[in-house]
Amino acid sequence: MGVPVWKKGLGFQRINGVRICNEGFWKRKHVEGIKCAYGNAPYLDDHIGFFEDLYAIRIDRLIDMNLFIIRYCMEYLSIDTRIVLLSELDIDVKGDRLPVEICRGLGADIFTAQCQAKKYLDEGLFLDDNIELHYFNIPSYIYPQLWGSFIPRLSIVDMLMNCGPKSRDIILRD
């Protein structure tokens, strides 16, 4: 279930400018879909209030909704990491130099990326700026799910609904 956004006539939009279409009954359908999908999940009651509250308020930009969900998950999992948006860094660069300039803007000397991103990164640009590149594979956390065969990398919401407070331990055990 996606969140409907305004697209018509807007052309290319910056990600922080994508506006939510708050018309219709999609919010109620989302809450009901979560209740239906996770009706038998052991921790539905711990989290359904969050989703009901999320959809009860008017949020105009998709980035704000995403950050609302991310911050909820971070708080629940006791993750204390600062979130910095690209729009806050005053960087006017695109292409290969962008990740290097992000590091410079944050004062970082290490850039960590998924192994799959290696083919898209110009390692020489990082070396020229004395920024180390570290690569990692996305872990596949195995945890109890409600239906059928285990589906890896489904979503943090799935893990929270099925594992509740044990989710943090599952993530940290790798």
* 82-98: pLDDT as tens digits: 999 999 998 999 899 99
CB 92 within 8 A of CB 102: no
Percent of the chain with pLDDT over 90: 86
Q: Does residue 11 have a pLDDT over 80? A: no
In sequence order, what DSSP letters do the residues of 117-169 get, joined into one string?
Answer: GGGGS-HHHHHHTT-EEEEEPPP------SSSS--TT--HHHHHHHHGGGHHH
What is the average pLDDT score of the chain? 94
- Give the Cα separation of 164 and 145 in Å (integer): 12
Residue 39 — pLDDT band, cuts 50, 70, 90? Answer: very high
Q: What is the pTM of this model?
A: 0.89
Give residue for tokens 């929270």: 160
pLDDT at position 46: 98
CB 70 within 8 A of CB 56: no
pLDDT at position 63: 96
Q: Does residue 119 have a pLDDT over 70? A: yes
CB 58 within 8 A of CB 68: no
pLDDT at position 12: 80
Q: Does residue 41 have a pLDDT over 90? A: yes
Residue 152 — pLDDT band, cuts 50, 70, 90? Answer: very high
- Give the Cα separation of 93 and 71 in Å (integer): 28
pLDDT at position 138: 87
- Give the Cα separation of 40 and 142 in Å (integer): 19
Q: Does residue 161 have a pLDDT over 90? A: yes
Residue 148 — pLDDT band, cuts 50, 70, 90? Answer: confident
Q: Does residue 174 have a pLDDT over 70? A: no
